[in-house]
Chains A and B, each alone.
Chain A
Amino acid sequence: NAGVTQTPKFQVLKTGQSMTLQCAQDMNHNSMYWYRQDPGMGLRLIYYSASEGTTDKGEVPNGYNVSRLNKREFSLRLESAAPSQTSVYFCASSEQGHNSPLHFGNGTRLTVT
């Protein structure tokens, strides 16, 4: 039982390049989330998907897009990477909304030069 799986674990991009971070969960959860973690700022919500077929903006959505491909998968795309997007990105899922526990992946460490 893998839980939440994120790929890749590490990535280095040049400014202006694009990439997609992949996330998959095998717990049959309805809700999925993307957070970024920066030193001294905790985790900030980028986008979330309350259920299959829906997505909503979080606190810091600018520069990102998401796709809820199916119930299992929720991807995060950076269309034109900027140094300010250097961060650790976490995907999470929960059974139903934010009052049920979030299960996190192990993160993707992204550096934009």
Chain B
Amino acid sequence: AQSVTQLDSQVPVFEEAPVELRCNYSSSVSVYLFWYVQYPNQGLQLLLKYLSGSTLVESINGFEAEFNKSQTSFHLRKPSVHISDTAEYFCAVSERNQGGKLIFGQGTELSVKP
């Protein structure tokens, strides 16, 4: 069965600094990979996804993630964060062609300080 590990529960960072939120997964089959973001008192929203093709995927607000099959990772990066990026970020994986369920990591709380 697939599983997802987010290696950092909290990441504090100063505004305009770069950030990387780490995600590793395990699965015996090919997977789809996702990052979701949750702002306070809201549900989750899709940030970006990898289904196939280019291993580097981008969101509209400057985040990017790279699928690394050999390291089974899908780390999320942003070169310069804003206060408004403060939120909780969840990595998720589903197995291809399995009618797969979406399994979430434990979440990483990104706190951007001025």
**In the bound complex, what is the Cα–Cα distance between A109 and B1 (angstroms)?**
29
Are A45 and B102 within 8 A (Cβ)?
A: yes
Residues of A within 8 A of B96 (CB): 99
User: With the chains together, A42 CA to B88 CA distance in Å?
Assistant: 10
- Residues of B bordering A, CB below 8 Å: 4, 6, 9, 32, 34, 36, 41-46, 49, 51, 90, 94, 96, 99-107
Residue of B nearest to A104 (CB): B43
Majority DSSP secondary structure for residues of A touching B: loop
Contact partner of B106 among A41, A48, A90, CB < 8 A? A41
Instruction: Determine which of B41, B49, B100, B106 lies in contact with A42 in the assembled complex, contact meaning CB atoms within 8 Å.
Output: B106
Roughly how many angstroms separate A42 CA and B94 CA in the complex, as a whole number?
15
Q: How far is the CA of A44 from the CA of B102 in the complex (A)?
A: 9
Interface 0/1 of A71-110, CB less than 8 Å to B: 0000000000000000000101000011101101111000
A53 sits at the interface (CB 8 A) = no
A42-B90, A98-B100, A101-B49 known; A90 and B43 CB under 8 Å? yes
- Asked whether any CB of chain B lies closer than 8 Å to the CB of A8, the reply is no
B11 nearest CB across to chain A (Å): 15
B43 adjacent to A4 (CB under 8 Å): yes
Contact B104–A99 (Cβ < 8 Å): no
Contact of A98 among B9, B41, B94, B106 (CB under 8 A): B94
A41 to chain B, nearest CB (A): 6
Whether A99 contacts B43 by the Cβ 8 Å rule is: no
